[in-house]
Structure 1
Amino acid sequence: MLHIRVIVPSDLTESVLEAFSRDEAVSQIAVMRGVSLQPVGDIVLADVAREAANEIVERLERLGVPDVGTIHVDAVESWVSRAGLEAERRTPGNSADAVVWADVTQRTYDESELNWTYLAFMTMATLLAGIAIVLDSQILVIGAMVLGPEFITIAAVGLALVRRRRYLFQRAALTLSVGFIIAITVVTLAALAGRALGWIAIEDVTGDRPGTEFIYSPDKWSFIVALIAAAAGVLSLTSAKLGGLSGAFISVTTVPAAGNVALGAAFGAMSEVRGSALQLLLNISGMVVAGCLTLALQQLVWDRRATRRLRVPSDLNSAPE
């Protein structure tokens, strides 16, 4: 169940109410007239079956609500309502599988912003990966994977391609590129400092590392793992269940590969740099491809399910004259 709150000028209130009241997926409607100060107008509240959220939000967008007001979409964690249960039963699909595009898009916009927090997490994760490589510690590699913030940014690239959001694509691509460049640069400088202090030797980078060898040895499995992990991660991101998202974080060696690129650059070990750079490219490419395919399939499935719903009259889908 979702709770939708719409803040609009009074002249749009009746159109918004009609858009809600004529849809069987809506179980509860309330209106608070004259309580909104900016914009001056009303607040309309509605409980909506999650499966129908996309069509309702799109209908409100066609009414011009985002241009003059606001649409809030919030998940309801717990609710007790016979009318709500009947609304969910009438609406085709399953609540846990439903993709609410407004929610997914907002989350990817938020998580793909280039800011100091993102850069700090990316740098710390890559530093931790560098230490993991020097110590040949698989536990530290996993820690670096969990700490890295790049997964949702990569998912944002796939979402932008599927939903044709040019600005989101540019934003996510910039954040991803700058994040890796800065992290690799910082870790390279740290590795040079460790080399000068005698804390790190070239044998630590080029020697036998059975625990972390996979980081610089890309093969077909690297791409396959990236595909599976990204598909699972996108499903967790778009569905009502987030259980698999953390698992996706620790399945793909993007951050560890970046850490090994930095160490290889600091010691002039170009074979390490080439192998790790290829690993990084394979991982990101596989994740983008899997993200696009998963999102495109979900969009196709939910578009078809939407056509099965009882359509409200066409005059509800256009702004009043």
Structure 2
Amino acid sequence: MLHLRLITPADRTDEVVRLIEETIGTTHLVVLPGSARNPAGDVVLCDVAREAGDELLTGLQRLGIEDSGSIAVENIDLSLSKRADKAEAEAPGEGADAVLWEHLTDATHEESTLSVTYLAFITLATMIAACGVVLDNAILIVGAMAVGPEFGPLAGFCTALVQRKPRLALRSLTALLVGFAVAMAITVGFSLFMDSIDLFSEEQLEADRPQTAFVYAPDWFSFIVAVLAGMAGTLSLTSSKSGALVGVAISVTTVPAAANAAVALSYGDTKQTWGSTEQLLLNLLGIVLAGVVTLLAQKWFWHRQRQHA
């Protein structure tokens, strides 16, 4: 269930209440006339089944409530109410299959913004991965994958393409490209520093690395894994399964490939630099394709499900 807290102008409250009452899957409707001060108006509270949430939010936006008032949505972790159970049973479809497009857009907007924190995370992840590839340490590689924040802008880019929001697409693409460029540039300097204090060496990079050689040797398995991970990651976002998203983060060779490219570049190894860059681009392409296809499939499936409800 979702909990909605609305601030509505007094002259629009009746329309809002009528919309809520007509939406199948709503319950616990409360109207507090004149309670809001900034902006001034009435406060309307209600609960709605997740599968009916997108329809209700779209209706509220059509009434202009986001412009003249406020729409706040919260997840309800526990609701002990027979009315709530009835509302969920009456709402068409399953809550786990529903996509709240506005929530998804808002969440990916935050995750895909180029910020100091984002740059810090992706740079630190790339530097950790650099240590992993030089030491041929798979544990460090997995750790770097978990730290890397690159799935946020990837998800934002996919969402923007499906929702046809060019500003979000540009913001996500900028965060992705600038983030990797900055992280790789700093990692080149980090690699040179580590070499100067004899912690990195070209011999380590060129030696046989059975645990980490895959980061500069792209193949069809890399692309397939990226596609599968992209699907899983998109589903985890739309269903709010954060645990699954962690699994996605440590499944795709993006940050390690960027790190290997940076270290190889610091030593002038063009073969590994290009191979790692190809691995990075292949994985990014696979995730984007999978994310877009998954979102389109969810949109189509949910539309068909509601048509037959």
* Fold in common (TM above 0.5): yes
Partner Cα separation in structure 2 for residue 73 and residue 139 of structure 1: 39
Q: What RMSD in Å do the two structures reach over aligned CA positions? A: 1.1
Task: Give the count of matched residue pairs.
Answer: 309
Question: What is the deviation of 1:240?
Answer: 4.2
Matched residue, 1:206: 206
Moved over 6 A (4+): none
Matched residue, 1:52: 52
Partner Cα separation in structure 2 for residue 124 and residue 114 of structure 1: 15
Question: What is the deviation of 1:308?
Answer: 4.3
Matched residue, 2:32: 32
Correspondence 1:67-216 to 2 at 5 A: 67-216=67-216
Matched residue, 1:314: none
**TM-score, normalised relative to structure 1:** 0.94
Identity %: 43
Partner Cα separation in structure 1 for residue 245 and residue 56 of structure 2: 28
User: Is the 2:134–2:205 contact (alpha carbons within 8 Å) kept by the matching residues of 1?
Assistant: yes
Correspondence 1:232-251 to 2 at 5 A: 232-251=232-251
Partner Cα separation in structure 1 for residue 210 and residue 33 of structure 2: 68
**TM-score, normalised relative to structure 2:** 0.98
Partner Cα separation in structure 1 for residue 172 and residue 141 of structure 2: 25
User: Is the 2:36–2:42 contact (alpha carbons within 8 Å) kept by the matching residues of 1?
Assistant: yes
Matched residue, 2:276: 276
Q: Which consecutive unaligned segments of at least 5 residues does structure 2 have?
A: none
Specify whether residues 121 and 240 from structure 1 end up closer, same or farther in structure 2 by C-alpha distance, changes over 3 A only: closer
Specify whether residues 240 and 120 from structure 1 end up closer, same or farther in structure 2 by C-alpha distance, changes over 3 A only: closer
User: Is the 1:95–1:240 contact (alpha carbons within 8 Å) kept by the matching residues of 2?
Assistant: no
Partner Cα separation in structure 2 for residue 262 and residue 19 of structure 1: 56
Question: What is the deviation of 1:3?
Answer: 0.6
Specify whether residues 240 and 180 from structure 1 end up closer, same or farther in structure 2 by C-alpha distance, changes over 3 A only: closer
User: Is the 1:125–1:148 contact (alpha carbons within 8 Å) kept by the matching residues of 2?
Assistant: yes
User: Is the 2:24–2:52 contact (alpha carbons within 8 Å) kept by the matching residues of 1?
Assistant: no
> SS of the counterpart of 1:244?
helix
Partner Cα separation in structure 1 for residue 260 and residue 220 of structure 2: 19
Matched residue, 2:11: 11
Range 239-248 or range 256-265, more displaced: 239-248
Range 4-13 or range 174-183, more displaced: 4-13
Q: Which consecutive unaligned segments of at least 5 residues does structure 1 have?
A: 310-321
Partner Cα separation in structure 2 for residue 252 and residue 6 of structure 1: 41
Partner Cα separation in structure 1 for residue 292 and residue 177 of structure 2: 19
1:208-261: per-residue Cα shift (whole Å, max 9, x none)? 111100100000000000000110111011014333111100000100001001
Question: What is the deviation of 1:17?
Answer: 0.6
